[in-house]
Amino acid sequence: MTWAEYLESFHARTAGQTEDVLSRCHAGDLTPYSWLIRPVIGRARRVLDLACGSAAAAGLLASESAKTGTFVIGVDNSAAELAVGSERHPVPLLQADVQRLPFADQAFDAVVCSMGLMVVQPLPEILAEVARVTRENGLLVATVASPLPLRRADLMLLGRLTAKLRTTPRFPAGGELGGIGTALTEAGFDVLEDGRERFAFTVRTAEDADLLLGSLYLPDTTEDRRDAAARWLAEQGQSRNGVDVAIPIRRITAMRRA
């Protein structure tokens, strides 16, 4: 099975599940979605949510920007995710290929992308397309997976969970995107900020464990192995009255060069 086939099947089966997990991840009063959109609130009147999934970021941005009249639209190639997004969030959504965005040059003041650049390929061509639809001095804000920051207790729990799964989550374009700075520069962006934050998802029940593990890209993990790992994680949560599973995330903010 190719990555494209796996992703189509995965998101058809789990539409909305990524939002269900990330909306429950917290770092103080932040969620990954509120952290993502923070740099563009009040600074952009036209915003594109790229690879929007079930449109959690678009919905939150539209809600936060209601008084300023900001226009937000989400784009994704998964019909299943967009169907869930249409039910959850009152924002326009469009099914389209992110390599060929159906928008005019410099149509947006900002583009946000939640955990999508790890999935879409080929990255240089997609960033060039993002640059095309972003106005000069406009912003691109993207979050991707990160190996850090982690606490000592996080390393112990994640190490045991990885041993149960016998793998770590995988992404078509890689995890942290180590070459993202160079790719952004070549696409016409200047990196303004590159930061990391530790979010945590609390597992208390078997349902929590199933939700979390079901949201991960684990193409080489059997269903039996994933179920066994979920049972173990649920046992940890129940025995400790809740266990925090760390979700480290990297946020990159870049400006389109004039």
Confidence of residue 141 (pLDDT cuts 50, 70, 90): very high
CA separation for the pair 111, 48 (Å, rounded): 5
Whether the CB-CB separation of 62 and 91 falls below 8 Å is answered with: yes
Confidence of residue 171 (pLDDT cuts 50, 70, 90): confident
Query: Domain holding 45: CATH number?
Result: 3.40.50.150
Tell me whether residue 228 is in a domain. no
Rounded to an integer, the average pLDDT of 82-90 is 97
CA separation for the pair 255, 110 (Å, rounded): 9
Number of domains in the chain: 1
Tell me whether residue 225 is in a domain. no
- 27 φ/ψ angles, rounded to the nearest 5 degrees: -130, 95
Tell me whether residue 213 is in a domain. no
Rounded to an integer, the average pLDDT of 52-62 is 96
CA separation for the pair 198, 245 (Å, rounded): 10
Tell me whether residue 214 is in a domain. no
Tell me whether residue 237 is in a domain. no
Tell me whether residue 227 is in a domain. no
Q: Could you read off the pLDDT of 11-25 as tens digits, one per residue?
A: 999 999 999 999 999
Tell me whether residue 158 is in a domain. no
Q: Could you read off the pLDDT of 122-133 as tens digits, one per residue?
A: 899 999 999 999
Residue 174 has a pLDDT of 67
Tell me whether residue 80 is in a domain. yes
The Cβ of residue 211 has, within 10 Å, a number of other Cβ atoms equal to: 18
Read off the tokens for 19. 């939002």
Residue 179 has a pLDDT of 85
Which DSSP symbol is given to 31?
-
Residue 68 has a pLDDT of 73
- End-to-end alpha carbon distance in the chain: 42
CA separation for the pair 44, 17 (Å, rounded): 28
Residue 73, domain extent: 3-145+173-199+249-256
Whether the CB-CB separation of 101 and 133 falls below 8 Å is answered with: yes
Rounded to an integer, the average pLDDT of 53-80 is 92
Q: Could you read off the pLDDT of 197-219 as tens digits, one per residue?
A: 999 999 999 999 999 999 999 99
